[in-house]
Amino acid sequence: MAKKQFKAESKRLLDLMIHSIYTNKEIFLRELISNASDAIDKLAYRSLTDDSVTLKHDDYRIDLKIDKENGTLTVSDNGIGMDAKSLEENLGVIAKSGSLAFKQAVQADKEHPEADAADIIGQFGVGFYSAFMVADQVTVISRAYGADEANRWESNGADGYTITPCARDAAGTDVIMKIKADTEDYDYTRFLDPYTLQGLVKKYSDYIRWPIKMDMTKTRPVEKKEGDDDKDAPSYEEYTENVTLNSMVPLWHKNPKEVSDDDYAALYREKFGAFDRPLKTIHISTEGVVSYEALLFIPSAAPFDYYSKDYERGLQLYSNGVLIMDKCADLIPEYFRFIRGIVDTQDVSLNISREMLQESPQVRAISRSIEKKIRRELTKMLEKDRETYEKFFQTFGLQLKFGVVSDYGENKDDLKDLLLFKSSFEGKLVTIKEYISRMPEAQKDIYYACAQTVDKAKALPQAEALLTKGYEVLYLTDDADEFVMKTLLSEDGKNFVNVREYQQERTDEEKEQEKQQAQALEGMLGFVKEKLGGKVADVKLSNALGSHPVSLASQGGITLEMEQYFSRIAMENAPKADKVLELNPEHPLVKKLSETYESDADTAAKYAQLLYNQAMLMAGFEIEDPTAYTDLLCSLLA
Ligand code: ADP
Ligand code: MG
């Protein structure tokens, strides 16, 4: 039979596997056992609705077999198996779940030298291909459930694979690895040692719920026969016993006191193809309206596809130990979509359909309970372990902000106290509560300044004015921030106010003065507006600009920051802010403008353009016509 070639990206991954100097080669066993377990899960699940499956729960097993003479290690299962087409599709290409992330990382990494490969392999659950880290030759014999014939898939990794028909007694799969010879750098043959394998199963696969069995040689005392007084006869003899290597108790059934952080981390990595350690593990066992056990993980790093549409939210749902759905989205609200985890309950029927799941009051009750538990856990972290919380917030804070804004602010009350904002207060991240707790008596509103960076926010004229007064200012640098403020509106009777809307409080006398000033300058303001030809909706005086001559503000529902946000995300027909040019009447440049307006309209028009462009720059916009602007500057300076 002709050899088939691996798809290009698979080939590259294989090369990495074969030539990798990666020391953690032993994870291949975890990967193969995990595949075997998945295959049994599938058949066990099918047996619920298919009476032709005659295997009983206790019949399912995974076997490890060592053949010292031929130097092979075999991992077998009596699960769902694969037909020729599945062998081709699953083992000829890397496009399967866990391996997909890996494939993408490998591609992203193409420009980098091979040395980085080790890191990549360490980071992902790499699946079946990891067998090639320890084997020269891999043979897969598989018979699909319901098929009569079996097939043999064979490859040495390097130059393609073959698939040929063969025989197998029953449905299931054998993965036979011809273990590599020892090299100076690596002792491969230890994978033919039963104690090594036993240790690896304990380390990586202990909780797999199907028995992992292997023949082990043991010793026992020899019974002395009566009259047998040969002193040299051995008092111990060897015998072979087929032992179960794993304890088979799912971690979530265990008492949390008996589970170590390492155990949790191992399960988290194995189940979710993650490479980080969970930042926090929440282990729930609860009885009540609904009873369930859950293991929830807050990742410490966002999966690489987290903010893309490829990322699917959801928790694994088990009914009494049997996996019924891999990503049950109904168990977790969108704003906690970063949570990975497992829910096991006897209150949801094994045979429930996906549509029924959505309607299920039990699922809804569990989801509500889980949501509360996560919220409580995060609140606790925020109060007791600020450092970890800030780390969490750096990674997933944006998600919480989206949560506040989405669904018309329906969840804002549940989430607002979990938000952190950058602030002028000691340069720290602060909560809204903290801000309010230290507001000076005279301060009525909560002020925030929006800009791309903290430095730019700080430099906004109105922010400067407020800071000088000793008020705290929140620096909002996330796209979502301003929408959050517009959704929250107020807290504890205090409004959230954009510093751009801030005006100095004035005595009646001062107000009268300003009115007169405005009247006196009315002609000039109208002139500037006219000369800017529709670029601004209005031109006004402002007393809040401190040492700056101009500032840009907005009126109506769309703020400057929103306009910038829409333009960054390249939204079609993006709405624009109605811009208001604010002038500081006390500033020499503005005074100069009003003088020239009286005497020399042409030059005054140039000043108007100059001030407008400066305001645009300060507000973080680009100059519309840089050449014209430079020419303008030169002509004014000349
Ligand atoms: P993943 O397990 O993340 O899907 P793998 O590379 O480990 O990726 O496996 C690829 C696919 O090959 C699996 O999704 C499964 O369909 C199939 N497969 C692997 N091992 C077995 C097995 N022992 N029995 C049945 N199918 C298997
Ligand atoms: Mg796998």
Which of 227, 93, 230, 239 has the alpha carbon at shortest distance from 161? 93
What is residue 89's predicted lDDT score, i.e. its pLDDT? Answer: 85
% of the chain surpassing 70 pLDDT: 91
Distance 33 CA to ligand 1 centre (A): 10
Q: How far is the CA of 31 from the centre of ligand 2 (A)?
A: 5
pLDDT (tens digit per residue) in 331-356: 999 999 999 999 999 888 766 777 78
> Which of 128, 139, 173 has most ligand 1 atoms within 8 Å of CB, for mutation?
128
pLDDT at 382: 97
* Whole-number pLDDT of residue 547: 85
Distance (angstroms) between ligand 2 centre and the Cα of 37 equals 9
Residue 147 confidence (pLDDT) above 90: yes
Atom of ligand 1 nearest to the CA of 34: 2
Q: Span 316-334, mean pLDDT?
A: 86
| Span from the CA of 131 to the centroid of ligand 2 (angstroms) | 11
* Residue 445: partners with Cβ closer than 8 Å, 6 or more residues away: 494, 495, 496, 497
Look up residue 79 and give its two tokens.
């699960």
Distance (angstroms) between ligand 1 centre and the Cα of 82 equals 9
CB 360 less than 6 A from any atom of ligand 1: no
Q: Which of 7, 14, 31, 38 to mutate to test the pocket of ligand 1 (most atoms within 8 A of CB)?
A: 38
DSSP assignment string, 214-227: EEEEEEEEPPPPTT
Measure 147 CA to ligand 1 centroid, in angstroms: 18
* 191-214 pLDDT, tens digit each: 999 999 999 998 778 878 899 999
Q: Is the CB of 585 under 6 A from ligand 1?
A: no
Tell me what pLDDT residue 142 has. Answer: 98
Q: How far is the CA of 21 from the centre of ligand 2 (A)?
A: 22
Average pLDDT of the residues in 426-447: 94
Does 169 have pLDDT greater than 90? yes
Cβ(96) to ligand 1 under 6 A?
yes
> pLDDT class for 23, splitting at 50, 70, 90?
low
| 621-631 mean pLDDT | 89
Around ion ligand 2, residues with a beta carbon closer than 5 Å are: 35, 127
Instruction: Report how far ligand 2's centroid is from the alpha carbon of 622 (Å).
Output: 50
Highest mean pLDDT among 103-112, 513-522, 523-532: 523-532
Which ligand does the CA of 98 lie closest to?
Answer: 1
Atom 14 of ligand 1 has which residue's CA nearest to it? 96
Average pLDDT for the chain = 87
Q: What confidence score (pLDDT) does residue 624 get?
A: 84
Using an 8 Å Cβ cutoff, are 206 and 246 in contact? yes
Among protein residues, the one whose CA lies closest to atom 11 of ligand 1: 90
- Both tokens of residue 524? 């000039």
Lowest-confidence segment of 220-229, 371-380, 402-411, 472-481 by average pLDDT: 220-229
Regarding predicted confidence, which is higher, 74 or 236?
74
Question: Is residue 162's pLDDT more than 70?
Answer: yes
Q: Decide if 536 contacts 579 (C-beta within 8 A).
A: yes
Q: How confident is the model at residue 129 (pLDDT cuts 50, 70, 90)?
A: confident
Instruction: Give the residue whose CA is nearest to atom 8 of ligand 1.
Output: 127
Q: Which two tokens stand for residue 366?
A: 């569990």
Residue nearest to atom 27 of ligand 1 (CA): 35
pLDDT at 112 over 50: no
Termini Cα distance of the chain: 85
With a 6 Å cutoff on the Cβ, whether 487 touches ligand 1 is: no
CA-closest residue to ligand 1 atom 15: 90
| Residue 117 pLDDT > 80 | no
Q: Is 164 helix (H, G, I), strand (E, B) or coil?
A: strand
- For the CA of 97, the nearest ligand: 1
Burial (CB count within 10 angstroms: exposed 0-12, middle 13-18, buried 19+), residue 342: buried
User: What is the distance between the alpha carbons of residues 292 and 306, in angstroms, rounded to a whole number?
Assistant: 27
Q: Are 46 and 53 in contact (CB under 8 A)?
A: yes
Q: Find out whether the beta carbon of 99 lies less than 6 Å from any atom of ligand 1.
A: yes
- Does the CB atom of residue 36 touch ligand 1 within 6 A? yes
Tokens of 474: 């929140």
Distance 434 CA to ligand 2 centre (A): 47
Q: Which residue has a Cα nearest atom 21 of ligand 1?
A: 35
pLDDT value at 516 more than 60: yes
pLDDT at 623: 86
In terms of DSSP bridges, do strands 62-67 and 212-221 run parallel, antiparallel, or are they unpaired? Answer: parallel
**pLDDT at residue 228, as a whole number:** 67
**163 and 1 in contact (C-beta within 8 Å)?**
yes
Report the alpha-carbon distance of residue 544 to residue 504 in Å, rounded. Answer: 6
> Which amino acid, 243?
V
Ligand nearest to the CA of 128: 1
Q: What's the CA-to-centroid distance between 128 and ligand 1, angstroms?
A: 7
pLDDT of residue 400: 95
Q: Is the CB of 97 under 6 A from ligand 1?
A: yes
Atom number of ligand 1 nearest to Cα 79: 24
Q: Is 76 in the pocket of ligand 1 (CB under 6 A)?
A: no
Q: Which of 68, 267, 94, 105 is nearest to 179 (CA)?
A: 68
Query: Hey, whose CA ends up nearest to atom 5 of ligand 1?
Result: 127
Mutation to probe ligand 1, out of 14, 35, 269 (largest number of atoms < 8 A from CB): 35
Using CA atoms, how far apart are residues 92 and 510, in angstroms rounded to an integer?
81
Q: What pLDDT does 19 receive?
A: 66
Exposure letters 518-555 (e unless 16+ CB within 10 A, then b): eeebeebbebbbebbeeebeebebbbbbbebbbbbbbe
Nearest CA to ligand 1 atom 13: 90
The protein residue whose alpha carbon is closest to atom 19 in ligand 1 is 35
Query: pLDDT digit string (tens) for 241-253?
Result: 999 999 888 889 9
Token readout for 229 is 């007084």
pLDDT band at 510 (very low <50, low <70, confident <90, very high): confident
What's the pLDDT band for 115 if we cut at 50, 70, 90?
Answer: very low
Average pLDDT over residues 272-297: 92
Distance 363 CA to ligand 2 centre (A): 28
Mean pLDDT within 379-399: 96
128 lines ligand 1 (CB under 6 A): yes
Q: Identify which of 287-291, 546-550, 578-582 has the greatest average pLDDT.
A: 578-582
Of all ligands present, the nearest one to the C-alpha of 37 is 1
Dist. CA 141 → ligand 2 center (Å): 17
Query: Does the pTM of the predicted model rise above 0.85?
Result: no
Ligand 1, atom 16: closest residue by C-alpha: 90
CA of 102 to the centre of ligand 2 (A): 12
Closest alpha carbon to 435 in 371, 507, 361, 492: 492
Distance from Cα 70 to the centre of ligand 1, integer Å: 25
Q: Is pLDDT above 80 for 94?
A: no
Mean pLDDT, range 227-252, rounded to an integer:
85
98 lines ligand 1 (CB under 6 A): yes
Q: What is the pLDDT of residue 98?
A: 44
Cα of 76 vs centre of ligand 2, distance in Å, is 14
Residue 110 clears pLDDT 70, i.e. is over it: no
Q: Locate the DSSP E strands across 516-616.
A: 538-541, 550-555, 578-583
Ligand closest to Cα of 99 equals: 1
- Count other C-beta atoms under 10 Å from residue 146's C-beta: 13
- Residue 175 confidence (pLDDT) above 70: yes
In this prediction, residue 517 carries a pLDDT of 86
Q: Compute the distance between CA of residue 600 and CA of residue 597 in angstroms, rounded to an integer.
A: 6
